[in-house]
Structure 1
Amino acid sequence: MTAPAPPAETLRTTLAKLLAGLPPKQASQAVDRLIANYRGTTPTDTPILRDRADVAAYAAYRMPATFEAVHAALEALAEATPDWTPTSHTDIGGGTGAATWAVTATWPGDRPVTVLDWSEPALALGREIATANPALRDADWRRARIGEDLTLPAAADLVTVSYVLNELTPADRTALVDTASASAQTVVIVEAGTPAGYARVLEARDRLIAAGFRVAAPCPHSAACPIAPGEDWCHFSARVSRSSLHRQVKGGSLPYEDEKFSYVAATRLPATPAPARVIRRPQIRKGQVLLDLCEPDEQLTRRTVTKRHGDLYKAARDATWGDPWPLS
């Protein structure tokens, strides 16, 4: 029997088939508007994804990148909680469901899945795409306004919130985090890897800790972030394969792009955070590797690992941005 394709590959194939007939000009126009909303201030009284063309353009432009960013965050969470597998999942503001695909890529198997979003066209397309993923065929796609009046249909082991906080007012952001923390054992929040995105993640992190959660990733501790506000920001990078349509829509020639993202994974369950986290791309020089680390003593440290460190030097040469340190 042929093994099923990994979720990432299945998602790319499904999107390519679904979007094969989408006129590139129409897609490009919709993407231009979506980029403006993604990078700027978005009104919260109407959904960003208004119709089928918007949703198709979003799927081509954002869904693969969202999948890779959320998957990277979930893999870091899984490393910190190796004995835990979520038995249920709610995705708040899930749109076309990229985070649900990322969960199935991290923890294979069936579980109750609920996707909440206020865009009916996004939910419809997400439901359509999900038929290609056996773990999502029974998912519940529900329309809901994401804000102060949000109520979750049931408690969930895992709640994900990806690229949603930017679309909300401060009051709605606070309400969403409080709703998630009251309903979940574990909460994962992913935002754009910009100073503003990091600030929203940091705000949510503080609120989750105040609600009794501990940080599982990326931080090696649940104390205050040692990064001075306004001087730098914590973010990571995920490599995203571009489809031919993706390259047409975005006008790029490379077969890949790097998605910058910020995130926090917090839990009420036992967790073992990384001893330290590589928070910048390692600098490999002749005979040495420079690692910028966030460490458990609430300090940012640059460590130089040289050949005389033996196996540690080999590990440092293999380390990538976002990895725990030392490598397992």
Structure 2
Amino acid sequence: MNAPVAPAETLRAALAVLLDGLPARQAAQAVERLIANYRGATPTDTPILRDRADVAAYAAYRMPATFEAVRSALDAFAAAVPEWVPAGHVDVGGGTGAATWAVSATWDGVRPVTVIDWSEPALALGREVAAANPALRDVRWQRSRIGTALDDTDLVTVSYVLNELTAPDRAALVDAAATAAQAVVIVEPGTPDGYARVIEARDRLVAAGFQVAAPCPHSAACPIVPGEDWCHFSARVSRSSLHRQIKGGSLAYEDEKFSYVAAARFPVTPAPSRVVRRPQIRKGQVLLDLCETDERLSRRTVTKRHGDLYKAARDADWGDDWPPAER
């Protein structure tokens, strides 16, 4: 019997079909323009993704990275709520639906899903790509402005969206998600500004009665001093030919940096501590930078004298729980 195809591979294959017949130069130009637009000022009422060529190029370029970042955040969240499975999902500003793929890769089964976005071409293409994933064939693709009212659901995801909104609209969206959902997962770029938006959202969720499940091991204030550092993580993404054409280089992968918060209205079991930097492996020791349950940052040195813990430290990765066996 053949092994099932992983969702990431299915997604990459579906996206490859989108670019069939689209000249590589046109796709590259569309991606460059769209990236510049997304990094600029807050958008106007005109959708950034204007037509199918725009959407196909940008989806092929960005969906794999968004999928891996959101899946990493959901994996950490799922570890903190091992008995919970969402019965419904609303993806706000979901565009072509990368977060819905990540949810289906995290929890088995079929559930009611709604993707809300202002761009009709993005929704139409998302519907087309989702046909390759049996868990997503009944998704509702809803064209709507990102407003304040959301239908009640178990899980709301908001990925790479807050940057497109004004500060009042960001606050209204987070409040709406907190009102509608039992769990909220927000992902932003792993930049100082992206982290600042995540912390702003985290504070509002905690004020609304949510408990932080990940990445933080507590729901108190973040111990990072604003302006001195920022909390972010990394997800490995296989690079398509379009990625290589846009960015140059020959590596078959790139690392997507992202910041996130996952929180819930119900009890959660967060990690005892979280590895918040890439571990430094030295001769006979591993240095781990950790965010701790007692609301502080620390550096822990694990040596060969620690036996099995040392072996675990050598295998630890940026973003992992620590120690791995305590949950």
Q: TM-score, normalised by structure 1?
A: 0.97
> 2: distance between equivalents of 1:302 and 1:53?
48
Give the aligned partner of residue 175 of structure 1.
Answer: 172
Shift of 1:3: 4.4
Give the aligned partner of residue 28 of structure 1.
Answer: 28
Shift of 1:118: 0.3
Shift of 1:44: 3.9
Write the letter of the residue equivalent to 1:235. Answer: H
Q: CA RMSD in A?
A: 1.1
Contact 1:16–1:245 under 8 Å retained in 2: no
Contact 2:32–2:246 under 8 Å retained in 1: no
3-state SS of the aligned residue for 2:321?
A: coil
> 1: distance between equivalents of 2:289 and 2:247?
32
3-state SS of the aligned residue for 1:36?
A: helix
Give the aligned partner of residue 160 of structure 2.
Answer: 163
Write the letter of the residue equivalent to 1:143. Answer: R
> 2: distance between equivalents of 1:177 and 1:272?
23
Contact 2:91–2:115 under 8 Å retained in 1: yes
Give the aligned partner of residue 51 of structure 1.
Answer: 51
CA offsets 1:143-190 (integer angstroms, 9 cap, x no match): 01013xx422x2110000000000000111011001100000000000
> 1: distance between equivalents of 2:48 and 2:123?
13
Give the aligned partner of residue 130 of structure 1.
Answer: 130
Q: Which runs of 5+ in 2 are unaligned?
A: none
Shift of 1:242: 1.1
CA offsets 1:15-49 (integer angstroms, 9 cap, x no match): 11221222111111111112213333332422221
3-state SS of the aligned residue for 1:109?
A: coil
Give the aligned partner of residue 108 of structure 1.
Answer: 108
> 2: distance between equivalents of 1:166 and 1:307?
45
1:317 maps to 2:314: yes
> 2: distance between equivalents of 1:309 and 1:44?
57
> 1: distance between equivalents of 2:243 and 2:266?
39
3-state SS of the aligned residue for 1:62?
A: helix
3-state SS of the aligned residue for 1:95?
A: coil
Shift of 1:61: 1.3
Which aligned segments of 4 or more residues in structure 1 are displaced greater than 6 angstroms? Answer: none
> 1: distance between equivalents of 2:317 and 2:242?
29
Q: TM-score, normalised by structure 2?
A: 0.97
Give the aligned partner of residue 18 of structure 1.
Answer: 18
Match of 2:181 among 180, 184, 193: 184
Give the aligned partner of residue 38 of structure 2.
Answer: 38
Q: 1:202 to 1:214 in 2, by over 3 A?
A: same
Contact 1:181–1:211 under 8 Å retained in 2: yes
Contact 1:305–1:313 under 8 Å retained in 2: yes
1:289 maps to 2:286: yes
How many residues align? The count is 325
CA offsets 1:237-288 (integer angstroms, 9 cap, x no match): 0000012233224333211000000000000122100000000000000000
Counting aligned pairs with the same residue, the percent is 79
> 2: distance between equivalents of 1:289 and 1:234?
21
CA offsets 1:193-241 (integer angstroms, 9 cap, x no match): 0000000000000000000000000000000000000000000000000
Write the letter of the residue equivalent to 1:16. Answer: A
Contact 1:277–1:293 under 8 Å retained in 2: yes
CA offsets 1:67-117 (integer angstroms, 9 cap, x no match): 000000000000000000101000000000000000000002100000000
> 2: distance between equivalents of 1:26 and 1:81?
44
Query: Aligned ranges for residues 124-273 of structure 1 at < 5 Å?
Result: 124-147=124-147, 150-152=148-150, 154-273=151-270
Q: Which runs of 5+ in 1 are unaligned?
A: none
> 1: distance between equivalents of 2:160 and 2:242?
22
Write the letter of the residue equivalent to 1:137. Answer: R
Write the letter of the residue equivalent to 2:134. Answer: P
Write the letter of the residue equivalent to 2:145. Answer: R
Contact 2:18–2:60 under 8 Å retained in 1: no
